[in-house]
Structure 1
Amino acid sequence: MTIPVAVAPEVPDELRAAIEAGGGELAALADARALVWVSEAGGFPEQLPTGIEWVQLPAAGIEDFVAAGVLERHPGVRFTSAAGAFSATVAEHALALLLAGVRYLPEHLRATTWRQQDFLPHVGTLRGSTVAVVGAGGIGKALIPSLLTLGAEVIAVNRSGRPVTGSGIPDGITTVPAERLDTVWPVADHVVVAAPATPATAHLVGSAELALLRPNSWVINVARGSLIDTEALVAALRAGTIGGAGLDVTDPEPLPDGHPLWALPNVIITPHDSNPPQVRVAAFAAHVRENVRRFAAGDDLLAPVDPSTGY
């Protein structure tokens, strides 16, 4: 039996093919059992037909949909996010930012003359360092094997504290529950922030946390800008409390011209492009295809949203 699935507000060809490959058929919203939403939270329907059982949202971070009351308006509908669909690409970007910082690449790229003696004291390595991955979900699990391969030790932080498992992750990796995050800062050389944005994670990294890090520590954020207190980060970067920051996301975002972060030499800013569109569409289509298959088979769906946590 094929499952009628609606796609709105427009129907990309890739998603039409993904739905069919997963055992579904494209249908009008009024006739569908599932909806794949491909736009912003603000345009989401105020009401859904009574036949809709499941909604696939287009992003891994769904804070805008939570804030807009989308989940609250539809309590009987199962929602899934795109968490995990883009993990490999974002993890690759996080690793690039971290390596660039540790290897002092910003100053190398700015140099117009041979400055070996100036640079050598600042050039580091991930080998033998301890990297805290704060938010060991899909992105964290994709990043951890690369860090281990490069010789780093990893502390994984997740909500439950249950051991992190996955492809390329050995048994026994150090895992810390979020409630004990305060014990992580003093022992981490570097931090990668990959946690969801919720009211509980706003300014997860602030002046107190930054003060516990080291003068050579790099803080990487590939999650949401709200997880880091921007004013505290600027102060720490100026004071040399930490070595630097690699930011694919900022608060505010877009980061306005003239903001202090633009002028700091120990900051790498990328404009929220860790998940570029040329790979995003295919990754989301694969996620949709698998979830349509699971929905048709009655199996657990990928990336179910827990309304009580907002992700």
Structure 2
Amino acid sequence: MSDVGSTRAPGQHRDPVAALARPIDGTRPAAGPVAILPFDHDGFAAAVRDGGGAVGPLDGCTRGIVWLDLDGDALGEVLAAHPAVEWVQVPMAGVERFARLFEAQGSRDLPLWTSAKGSFAEPVAEHAVALTLAVLRGLPEKSRSTSWADPKTGISLYGRNVLIVGAGGIAREIMRLLAPFEVSVTIVRRTAGDVPGARRTVAASGLMEVLPDADVVILAAAATDQTAHLIGRDQLAAMKPSAALVNIARGHLIDQDALADALAGGHLVGAGLDVTTPEPLPDGHPLWSSPRIVITSHSADTPEMTEPLLAERIRANVAALVGDGAFVGIVDPVAGY
């Protein structure tokens, strides 16, 4: 057993991006009391104190907010009434629900926004690999079978070409978990630039060029206007009939009607979706009855997995607020992630 593995408690996850944080350049948020909203949470209050900060009520002295809800409009009202707030921590990795607040802020430096991006990389990447193996091994159909199936079917992951859309913490953790399978990884990201561990990295504009070679396509990109229906009819048609598609990012990255049609027509070995549009996916939706698909109802990271990781992200960012300014998970309001 490795030294790293032996230090983990059963089921324990770590934040793989925390060590990459560096003090920010330019305008920094001022230190001051932190309010936890829109409801109290003892565990996250303890994280604020562990980071060297003070938890206080929302008032004119508040400098930081740990926002625990998905209601962007409510948060916007809080910020409008308390312009002295200079740092906001939101609880999820994907921040599309706060897009209107980012648009209103524009290029202004403050408030500084931090999210949970990267902190949930280990559990989500673990789930992505599980879905990949399930689809390649035909588990969606086999798990529904009510009689002994013959002949034997299944595709091995070893040595395959894996295309990952996204280059953040989740994508990098997926690559780490896939390393024992000796796969060849291509990364598609917003802009070109090498990603350690990837055989090839291409800009998003080159997606159609690399899709035909992929045995597995894993979506791990942020939800933005630019990534809506990133995988549509043309992209699905460009994929191998034997390819697997896995989405652990956001549902709107895939044209779900096109995916249902592709599966019904026998194209793709299968698909594994942890995310859909809308969520919850309504009963009777065509995807539920599509062949060769497994849907896991946005359970890649359970509350039991995410709560300690979010608490650690809060602690680290409060320490940055009162200390060196090395915030983790900084959101670019202009880019929207």
Residue in structure 1 matched with residue 178 of structure 2 by the alignment: 147
Q: 1:129 aligns with which of 143, 152, 160?
A: 160
Residue in structure 2 matched with residue 60 of structure 1 by the alignment: 93
1:2, CA displacement in angstroms? 7.4
Tell me, yes or no, if structure 1 residue 24 matches structure 2 residue 57: no
1:228, CA displacement in angstroms? 0.2
Q: 2:75 aligns with which of 44, 65, 71?
A: 44
Q: 1:164 aligns with which of 178, 192, 195?
A: 195
TM-score, normalized by length of structure 2? 0.85
Mapped to 2, the partners of 1:244 and 1:114 lie a distance apart of: 20
Residue correspondences, number: 301
Mapped to 2, the partners of 1:134 and 1:190 lie a distance apart of: 11
Amino acid at match of 2:98: F
User: SS of 1:44's equivalent?
Assistant: helix
1:4, CA displacement in angstroms? 1.7
TM-score, normalized by length of structure 1? 0.92
Question: Does the aligned pair in 2 maintain the 1:4–1:27 contact within 8 Å?
Answer: yes
User: SS of 1:26's equivalent?
Assistant: coil
- The runs of 4+ residues in structure 1 deviating greater than 6 Å are none
Tell me, yes or no, if structure 1 residue 114 matches structure 2 residue 151: no
Residue in structure 1 matched with residue 36 of structure 2 by the alignment: 7
1:85, CA displacement in angstroms? 1.3
User: Cα deviations across residues 194-224 of structure 1 (Å, max 9, x unaligned)?
Assistant: 1111111100000100111111111101111
Mapped to 2, the partners of 1:126 and 1:176 lie a distance apart of: 22
Amino acid at match of 1:90: V
1:291, CA displacement in angstroms? 1.0
User: SS of 2:175's equivalent?
Assistant: helix
Mapped to 2, the partners of 1:45 and 1:201 lie a distance apart of: 25
User: Which runs of 5 or more structure 1 residues have no equivalent in the other structure?
Assistant: none
Q: Which has the higher contact order (CA 8 A, sep 6+)?
A: 2
Q: Which moved more, 1:180-189 or 1:200-209?
A: 180-189
User: Cα deviations across residues 98-127 of structure 1 (Å, max 9, x unaligned)?
Assistant: 10011111222223333241x33xx01111
Q: 2:65 aligns with which of 35, 52, 68?
A: 35
User: Cα deviations across residues 221-244 of structure 1 (Å, max 9, x unaligned)?
Assistant: 111111000111011111112111
Amino acid at match of 1:37: W
Q: 1:200 aligns with which of 226, 231, 240?
A: 226
In structure 2, the CA distance between the partners of 1:180 and 1:48, relative to structure 1 (3 Å rule), is farther
1:45, CA displacement in angstroms? 4.0
Mapped to 1, the partners of 2:42 and 2:195 lie a distance apart of: 36
Mapped to 2, the partners of 1:2 and 1:210 lie a distance apart of: 49
Question: Does the aligned pair in 1 maintain the 2:103–2:334 contact within 8 Å?
Answer: no
Mapped to 1, the partners of 2:191 and 2:104 lie a distance apart of: 28
Residue in structure 1 matched with residue 23 of structure 2 by the alignment: none
In structure 2, the CA distance between the partners of 1:266 and 1:3, relative to structure 1 (3 Å rule), is same
Question: Does the aligned pair in 2 maintain the 1:103–1:124 contact within 8 Å?
Answer: yes
Amino acid at match of 2:95: I
Mapped to 2, the partners of 1:19 and 1:3 lie a distance apart of: 11
User: SS of 1:176's equivalent?
Assistant: strand
Mapped to 1, the partners of 2:83 and 2:333 lie a distance apart of: 20
Mapped to 1, the partners of 2:103 and 2:234 lie a distance apart of: 34
User: SS of 1:161's equivalent?
Assistant: coil
Q: 2:289 aligns with which of 257, 263, 278?
A: 263
Amino acid at match of 2:68: V
User: SS of 2:230's equivalent?
Assistant: coil
Give the share of equivalent positions with the same residue, in percent.
42
User: SS of 1:107's equivalent?
Assistant: helix
Mapped to 2, the partners of 1:113 and 1:144 lie a distance apart of: 36
Mapped to 2, the partners of 1:34 and 1:103 lie a distance apart of: 48
Q: 1:88 aligns with which of 103, 115, 122?
A: 122
Amino acid at match of 1:83: K
Question: Does the aligned pair in 2 maintain the 1:2–1:25 contact within 8 Å?
Answer: no
User: Which runs of 5 or more structure 2 residues have no equivalent in the other structure?
Assistant: 1-29
Mapped to 1, the partners of 2:41 and 2:199 lie a distance apart of: 41
Q: 2:132 aligns with which of 98, 105, 110?
A: 98
Question: Does the aligned pair in 2 maintain the 1:147–1:154 contact within 8 Å?
Answer: no
Residue in structure 1 matched with residue 12 of structure 2 by the alignment: none
